[in-house]
């Protein structure tokens, strides 16, 4: 299945030859693919206040942008070509999440989300570039992609979108349903709908250094506990009361130099940072929760699955669950790591001990007994 998705390449060969190096066009990456949403269901999502959505159109030689949630009337009787983009579609739909997980040959710590766009003929978001890798999978309809590896990435000033000022494409393809285009970071591209069409964008996280630094400093603020207090028993009379004392600067420098971190701290930070749900994501505990006994019975019969919104990563003996660190019993570790990899466990993998542990997650809305009646 991976080789079909990657045009006959193994995941290893794709990573060695294309990942962050050059584009790849794959015809029939997912044969007979028509998408996991139709127009109506996607536009319904764009009207949901819990979903991040945008509408883009070009009017009077200028790009226009509106942010959701929208009303159904916003999509009616529009004369200009327009696009609607729904981010995090994988959080709202099991088939959408399953589509995203097809790309798990890339570490889940790098996977971001599945964005789905609908466009009327001529619609698009203009020539732009992304700072991250992206797979552009065509659903229903046809979209023309123009791409170019150009040095000039300057943007149109004042535009509500990051639109390239001088786009110069070097290649152009029309993508049919099931076709896919991979683009490395900062590769200029422009997608134009040739018919009513839907495109599925599989994006990856590539945090900026500044973003990571700010996050890490916040992490240290929570984790550090430095003892001591500023003191100056040998204080001398100041010639200039408003002057900043040099001895104070020296002492505070020594105090701050006691801030230390190592690779283990960085790993702990990344686990929390990369599993932290986005700001608009909330978990809903079960309305009528099962008793623990009924939960154990349901899980051992049917299995357990993580909620679509749950992020679960691990390193060594530590789990990172939705931004928090967990240290499970060693007897459960391998199965919980398997749960992180597969996002579900079969009933045959579950017993009362691990079910008791997962019962806490269930009550927080992080997972639930599987819906099917069979093991995975």
Verify that 94 and 195 share a domain, yes or no. yes
Per the domain annotation, does 344 fall within a domain? yes
Which of 169, 187, 204 terminates a domain? The answer is 204
Report the CATH number that the domain containing residue 328 is assigned in CATH: 3.40.366.30
Per the domain annotation, does 39 fall within a domain? yes
pLDDT(376) > 50: no
pLDDT-derived band at 372 (thresholds 50, 70, 90) equals low
Verify that 51 and 128 share a domain, yes or no. yes
Per the domain annotation, does 325 fall within a domain? yes
When divided into structural domains, the chain yields a total of: 2
Report the CATH number that the domain containing residue 11 is assigned in CATH: 2.60.120.650
Give every CB contact of residue 189 below 8 A, 6+ residues apart in sequence: 127, 128, 129, 145, 146, 147, 148, 183
Q: Residues of the chain with pLDDT > 70: what percent?
A: 99
Give every CB contact of residue 217 below 8 A, 6+ residues apart in sequence: none
Per the domain annotation, does 155 fall within a domain? yes
* pLDDT tens digits, 2-58: 889 999 999 999 999 999 999 999 999 999 998 999 999 999 999 999 999 999 999
User: What is the structure's pLDDT at 2?
Assistant: 86
Verify that 191 and 283 share a domain, yes or no. no
pLDDT(272) > 70: yes
Verify that 178 and 47 share a domain, yes or no. yes
What is the pLDDT averaged over residues 302-316?
A: 97
Verify that 278 and 167 share a domain, yes or no. no
* pLDDT tens digits, 119-152: 999 999 999 999 999 999 999 999 999 999 999 9
pLDDT(80) > 50: yes
Per the domain annotation, does 77 fall within a domain? yes
Q: Who has greater pLDDT, 190 or 3? A: 190
pLDDT(375) > 70: no
pLDDT(350) > 70: yes
* pLDDT tens digits, 205-235: 999 999 999 999 999 999 999 999 999 999 9
Verify that 185 and 96 share a domain, yes or no. yes
pLDDT-derived band at 79 (thresholds 50, 70, 90) equals confident
Which of 204, 221, 241 terminates a domain? The answer is 204
Per the domain annotation, does 32 fall within a domain? yes
Verify that 66 and 180 share a domain, yes or no. yes
Query: Poorest-confidence range of 64-68, 236-240, 248-252, 301-305?
Result: 236-240
Which of 204, 225, 242 terminates a domain? The answer is 204
User: What is the structure's pLDDT at 61?
Assistant: 87
User: What is the structure's pLDDT at 113?
Assistant: 96
Verify that 67 and 175 share a domain, yes or no. yes
Cα distance between residue 208 and residue 203, in whole Å: 15
Verify that 130 and 271 share a domain, yes or no. no
What is the pLDDT averaged over residues 154-168?
A: 95
Per the domain annotation, does 235 fall within a domain? no
Verify that 17 and 107 share a domain, yes or no. yes
Verify that 165 and 301 share a domain, yes or no. no
Per the domain annotation, does 24 fall within a domain? yes
Query: Poorest-confidence range of 22-26, 172-176, 275-279, 304-308?
Result: 275-279
User: What is the structure's pLDDT at 373?
Assistant: 42
Q: What is the mean pLDDT of the chain?
A: 95
What is the extent of the structural domain holding 109? 2-204
Peptide bond into 69 cis (omega under 30): yes
pLDDT-derived band at 368 (thresholds 50, 70, 90) equals very high
Verify that 273 and 171 share a domain, yes or no. no
pLDDT(1) > 90: no
């Amino acid at each position: 299945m991976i080789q079909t998705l990657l045009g006959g390449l193994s995941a290893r060969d794709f990573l060695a030859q294309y990942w962050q190096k050059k584009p790849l066009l794959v015809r029939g990456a997912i044969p007979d693919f028509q998408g996991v949403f139709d127009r109506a269901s996607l536009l319904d999502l764009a009207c949901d206040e819990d979903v991040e959505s945008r509408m883009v159109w070009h009017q009077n030689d200028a790009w226009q942008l509106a942010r959701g949630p929208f009303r159904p009337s916003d999509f009616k009787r529009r004369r200009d070509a327009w696009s609607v983009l729904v981010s995090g579609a994988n959080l709202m739909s099991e088939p959408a999440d399953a589509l995203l997980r097809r790309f798990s040959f890339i570490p889940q710590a790098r996977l971001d989300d599945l964005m789905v766009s609908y466009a009327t003929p001529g619609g698009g978001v203009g020539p732009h570039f992304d700072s991250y890798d992206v797979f552009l999978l065509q659903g229903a309809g046809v979209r023309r992609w123009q791409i170019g590896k150009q040095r000039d990435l300057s943007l149109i000033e004042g535009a509500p979108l990051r639109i390239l000022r001088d786009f110069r494409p070097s290649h152009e393809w029309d993508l049919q349903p099931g076709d896919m285009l991979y683009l490395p970071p900062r590769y200029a591209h422009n997608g134009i709908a040739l018919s009513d069409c839907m495109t599925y964008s599989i994006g990856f996280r590539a945090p900026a250094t500044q973003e990571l630094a700010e996050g890490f400093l916040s992490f240290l603020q929570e984790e550090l506990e430095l003892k001591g207090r500023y003191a100056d028993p040998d204080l001398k009379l100041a010639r200039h009361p408003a002057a900043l004392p040099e001895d104070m600067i020296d002492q505070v420098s020594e105090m701050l130099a006691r801030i230390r971190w190592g690779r283990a701290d960085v790993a702990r930070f990344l686990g929390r940072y990369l599993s932290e749900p986005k700001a608009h994501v909330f978990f809903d505990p079960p309305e009528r929760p099962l008793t623990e006994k009924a939960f154990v019975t349901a899980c051992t019969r049917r299995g357990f699955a993580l909620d679509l919104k749950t992020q679960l990563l691990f390193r060594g003996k530590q789990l990172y669950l939705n931004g928090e660190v967990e240290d499970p019993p060693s007897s459960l570790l391998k199965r919980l790591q398997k749960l992180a990899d597969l996002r579900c466990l079969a009933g045959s993998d579950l017993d009362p001990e691990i079910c008791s542990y997962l019962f806490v997650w269930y009550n927080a809305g992080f997972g639930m007994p599987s819906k099917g009646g069979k093991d995975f």
